[in-house]
Amino acid sequence: MEDLPEALLGDIIKRLPRTTDLNSLSLVSKRLYAVEAELRDAIYVGCGVCPVTVALVTLSYRFRNLCKVEFNYSGWTPHHGIQLANHGLYVLSSCCPSLTDLTLSFCSYIDDSGLCFLARFKKLMSLRLEDLPEITSAGLLSVAVGCKSLSALRLMNCKNARSVEWLEYLGKLGSLEELVVENCRRISQLDLLSFGSGFMKLQKFEFQNRCLPNRFKLDGPSYVADSQSRYDFCCDLMKDLTLVRITTEKEIGLCCLLRKCKALENLSLYYVHGVHDHDMITLAQNNRNLRSISLMLTPQHCEGYVYRTTLTDDSLNALARWCPMLQSVELTFFGCEPDWPEIGFTQKGLVMFIQSCPIRDLTLGGADIFDDKGMKALSCARFLESLKLVCCIAITDAGMRHLERSPSLINLALELCDGLTGNGVAKVARARKLETLTIEKCSRISLKDVQGAAKTVHYTDDCPGFKEWLDRCVYGSKYES
């Protein structure tokens, strides 16, 4: 090892992703210790590091090329010692002048005064602030003004953070390429319209509201129904858009982005009220490079007394016609029943959509309209490699057997599908020579039934039941940070 060229040794070290492996490697020899320290560009600081300011000085002295630092005090108790505080950020700014990426999570002792020190990081490009209860809009404004190189800002679960000044400043500056706001209860979707011209350069945008759509209205000081000037912006560069638990009416709110985007590649709409077929048709016509779409739909009142999910086969037809690169699709339906309330899509529309697009990864959740006939048509999808079915109660072993003829299927996941048996699933898995088979809480499938049926089998029978799955869809960790 001592005779290896420096470049080759460095390449070996870069291929070790785990911190524990790097720490072990650095103990082998002085040379490895020095090379590893030279190449290490990221560290993680958690509850066990105390006193943290002393540790920062030591770590920065050893790792002189640090670019990324994460502080995470999730699960912290007073027994863990003192957290990172405002002075610690001042020390960090002195020790790590080349820092480009900083994450502060669950830092209870960081307030606006501490955020002011972030201006000392002249190269800071990415900032993630999660569960910082003491920061307010004043601190965020100091970040917006002081961090001139900032291109990505993620703000999550900061209950006292407000808008509008810092959003307006960042919007006029036009430097952000990524903006994520999740579960900040004092920041509404209408406040985010203050970002204005900043949307022109934005490539990734995510807004997630903690409340369900039917629990809040478009009101408050930010709501001005006739203020159309607030919508006078474009977002031609946006590639990733995620909206979670928001409502819109009469073309008011963040759903206006669906009509403004021109370059979307990934779209996720989770429990968004007020999106209709004309929105999806416009989006499909304007975004020919769309590669991934994830829709989680709940029933809404539409067309008078009709109560169903608002999107219909017209949306599927538009996506099939105008989005020839669509490869990943997730369709989950919450709160729908076979009789009432209904799903706006039909099985015929879903089959047409799946067969018309080059879909490689498909997830169907709560799709009670999809039965064995749909599975027969699904088996003809030429490009389908990965299929996940969650709580699809109308599918039986007869429908599952059609997948034996699926030309490209290599990954199959089943969750809460009580119409399927272990014998039926195992036959399909062995016939298709699956790479992975995942079974979660399917009451009629045992581990013995599927053991060895695929190269890799994941089986759990202690995951949440149906009610818990519905709760997880609404509040689950997949849609939260």
Identify the pLDDT of residue 294.
98
CA 17 vs CA 96, 378, 386: distances in Å: 22, 39, 27
Q: Helix (H) and strand (E) counts for the chain?
A: 17, 18
* Residue 362, C-beta contacts closer than 8 angstroms, at least 6 positions apart: 328, 329, 330, 354, 378, 381, 384, 386, 387, 388
Other C-beta atoms lying within 10 Å of the C-beta of residue 263: 15
* CA pair distance 203, 296, nearest whole angstrom: 23
pLDDT tens-digit series, residues 341-386: 789 999 999 999 999 999 999 999 999 999 999 999 999 999 999 9
Domain residues of the chain, as ranges? 371-480
| Residue stretches of the chain with pLDDT short of 70 | 1-4, 6-33, 35-37, 211-230, 249-251, 303-305, 463-481
Q: Would you report the helix, strand and coil content of the chain in percent, each value rounded to 5? A: 35, 20, 45
* CA pair distance 82, 80, nearest whole angstrom: 7
Find the angle CA(169)-CA(173)-CA(179) to the nearest 5 degrees. Answer: 75
Nearest alpha-carbon partner for 241 in 299, 280, 186:
280
* CA pair distance 362, 380, nearest whole angstrom: 14
* CA pair distance 63, 210, nearest whole angstrom: 39
* CA pair distance 389, 416, nearest whole angstrom: 8
Other C-beta atoms lying within 10 Å of the C-beta of residue 150: 21
Structure tokens at 91: 């020390």
Identify the pLDDT of residue 250.
60
Find the angle CA(156)-CA(172)-CA(260) to the nearest 5 degrees. Answer: 75
DSSP 35-82: HHHHH--EEEE-TT--SHHHHHHHHHHH-TT--EEEEE-TT--GGG-P
* CA pair distance 224, 261, nearest whole angstrom: 23
Nearest alpha-carbon partner for 478 in 417, 388, 374:
388
Q: Do 388 and 413 contact (CB within 8 A), yes or no?
A: yes
Identify the pLDDT of residue 473.
57
* Residue 46, C-beta contacts closer than 8 angstroms, at least 6 positions apart: 71, 72, 73
Where would I find the beta strands (DSSP E) of 288-355?
292-297, 300-302, 306-308, 328-333
Identify the pLDDT of residue 26.
65
Nearest alpha-carbon partner for 275 in 225, 318, 237:
318
Identify the pLDDT of residue 221.
40
Assigned CATH class of 371-480 = alpha beta
Where would I find the beta strands (DSSP E) of 157-236?
178-182, 204-208
Identify the pLDDT of residue 477.
46
Identify the pLDDT of residue 458.
95
Identify the pLDDT of residue 17.
65
Identify the pLDDT of residue 48.
83
Identify the pLDDT of residue 224.
46
* CA pair distance 92, 378, nearest whole angstrom: 55
> What length does the chain have?
481
Structure tokens at 285: 């016509």
Does the CA dihedral 473-474-475-481 come out positive or negative? Answer: positive
